[in-house]
Structure 1
């Protein structure tokens, strides 16, 4: 009888309450008095970020997987040089592997020039012998903090193809979010902890955590910043994704570019489908990484057979990492639903318990269906045997994708 009562009480809870309680059990703060703004394209993200950088009075902190040596990055470095000359502290972290894998990496000469302009810029985990040790645990975050009051996170690095697209895959669809309010403190914590570890400095103090004294009625969102740091918080992000899916009672909408999820997330999705939750997943028809589309198609085909609706986005490359649950809460961040992100890399996502933001993301999802193809058994049969074999084979290596 006691077990039955507990089960009924759990079922009666809304999905957002279940996940909020789960996060509290993980000692992840649920901050109140926040306001977020979705930045739905590269153009929106860079216009907004540049505007906030221009207004910076004390510090600018940037932590990105990579900065592509192109027009957007160079314009940003020029602006940061101006801010540094005004006495604003400018600190930048970028991942060594992310830079190496970039088709237009930052070179030593350019880094020297940036530093001469008063900007502190460091590589995360530079390559050293034995080089294989540095293939894992990359810093895949894309975060920014301005004066401790405004924070950014999401899926976009600093590169002009977020606006212009790329020749082989077309337009680049992505998502970032600007946050103001109490949640910014935890984005700042993430940056400063990594910065101090990389540089051996001790940057801290009240000046980096100012009081947010300009709140209006719009500051009414609950936000949890869920970070993944190897050896520190290795499972929190993966477990929060899985718990959110298991808590869903009506609907799950997922957009993710490299959809080869870990076992716990696959099982959570299967269970959600089996209990009647409407599961919709959107992946791209094209990808910037070989084999990944075939691995994704192989997995989503299995979920389609179970009852999920699978949409193949044809309007370019959809690089967004979003999930919406029951029209109640959502997540935006840098984490891909694959083993690379959820088992190895440093990642940061915001879980936003707000109907307005969740609806805005769901509306985008619905609009993107117009540029997508619904995967059906007939369309799956039309795929070549070779691609199906590649998909099956690629799944063997999903822990490394």
Structure 2
């Protein structure tokens, strides 16, 4: 059984799993922010947020206004954002914004500031997206805080992404990750049993989207957390082991699927042993060059028997994988060099057929808005010049 085999492999690698969790999926930004904002309104003790960036737009302002209200009520509010993530978006938080937020009681700090002319730690950025409320519920997935998760952008159109809410023991794991990072950044040691409740009680949070699966409260979940120097290979190991363990099917959605040689080989071997491998990538992207490399890579995989679906309506920023209909992952990790070799990343691994089916159903729906990559559609999609750019881009895979 691929699911039990994977759990054993991950446990040997130091990942703990608990089987008392609920997981609620959010298929778009509106669902995520509506649910998370409602949970924050009900916060009584603490709200902890760790994001790659808070884009200084309307959704962030609504969030910070709400957090300021909670701070005024006496709720502890702590927020972290990545320095590079902030400076690389076109609506960054400025120092004056941070001063204003701190005056309102929001403890907000910057992960590993980049100080010119010395480009320190430019390759080890905090790409995680974690929110923990009262130590009882947690949110994680692929979305930062920005309007475009709801409104899209002119450049790519609609912006698709995935997030989830976890209730159960693994909330404590996410809290440990946040507080360890908070201590690293601020040198403040925040601890105590009240931060590690792990479970909520009826009517504590009101109006949240329920986990309607029959397995709610009994889902096995593990958190894989990549940190440079301490758990360098855990994301790579998870994906490699999961692909190698697959017996029936693999479905992957990932925006920056440049892969590494080990993962490419694992996918080819899966096809050779009869596993149905399907990958979905977007025809649109928010950054240059990387998509050219992605198109080159998936074309090569298509020629080896992988079914590649090219998503057309907008940008699919989702990072999920479903294996054998038995387990899945939702998180922040891309399948590129940055996530696999450099950045701080975190994924939830969910050993549950029903949650996996929810994601697989999403995949099947999105196939209707995609075209299947074939030799014919490849030549229609990419010009000779674009194919050359893709070949050149793939030479830069270790840096993309």
Q: TM-score, normalised by structure 2?
A: 0.95
Matched, 1:104 2:103: no
The match for 1:157 among 144, 168, 182 is 144
Q: Which residue of 2 aligns with 1:393?
A: 392
User: Following TM superposition, by how much is the alpha carbon of 1:315 offset from its aligned partner in structure 2, in angstroms?
Assistant: 1.4
Q: Which moved more, 1:70-79 or 1:121-130?
A: 121-130
Deviation at 1:205, TM superposition (A): 1.4
Q: Following TM superposition, by how much is the alpha carbon of 1:133 offset from its aligned partner in structure 2, in angstroms?
A: 2.2
* Count of residues in correspondence between the two structures: 388
* Residue number among 15, 19, 29 corresponding to 2:2 in the alignment: 15
How far 1:32 moved relative to its partner?
A: 1.3
Match in the other structure for 2:106: 119
| Unaligned residue ranges in structure 2 (runs of 5+) | 203-213
Secondary structure in structure 2 of the residue aligned to 1:231: coil
CA apart distance, 1:217: 6.8
Aligned twin of 2:340: 342
Aligned residue for 1:133, secondary structure, equals coil
1:213 CA displacement: 6.0
Residue of structure 2 equivalent to 1:179? 166
Corresponding position of 1:56: 43
Q: 2:295 aligns with which of 269, 294, 297?
A: 297
Deviation (angstroms), 1:132: 2.3
Show the counterpart of 1:327. Answer: 325
Measured in 1, the distance between the counterparts of 2:17 and 2:117 equals 41
| Structure 2 counterpart of 1:146 | 133
Report what 1:8 is aligned to: none
Partner of 1:74: 61
Structure 1, unaligned stretches of length 5 or more? 1-13
C-alpha contact (below 8 Å) 2:3/2:327 kept by paired residues: yes
Among 75, 79, 92, which residue is 2:79 paired with? 92
Q: CA deviation at 1:314?
A: 0.4
1:133 is matched with which residue: 100, 112, 120?
A: 120
Question: How far 1:292 sits from its partner (Å)?
Answer: 1.4
Q: How does 1:282-293 map to 2 (within 5 A)?
A: 282-293=280-291
Partner of 2:357: 359
Give the alignment's Cα RMSD to 1 decimal: 1.2
Q: What is the CA deviation profile of residues 226-245 of structure 1, one whole-angstrom value per residue up to 9, with x for unaligned ones? A: 00000111101110111000
Q: Distance in 2 between matches of 1:252 and 1:245?
A: 7
The more displaced of 261-270 and 310-319 is 261-270
Aligned counterparts of 1:46 and 1:55: Cα–Cα separation in 2: 14
Separation in 1, partners of 2:311, 2:116: 41
For residue 70 of structure 1, report the CA deviation from its aligned partner. 0.4
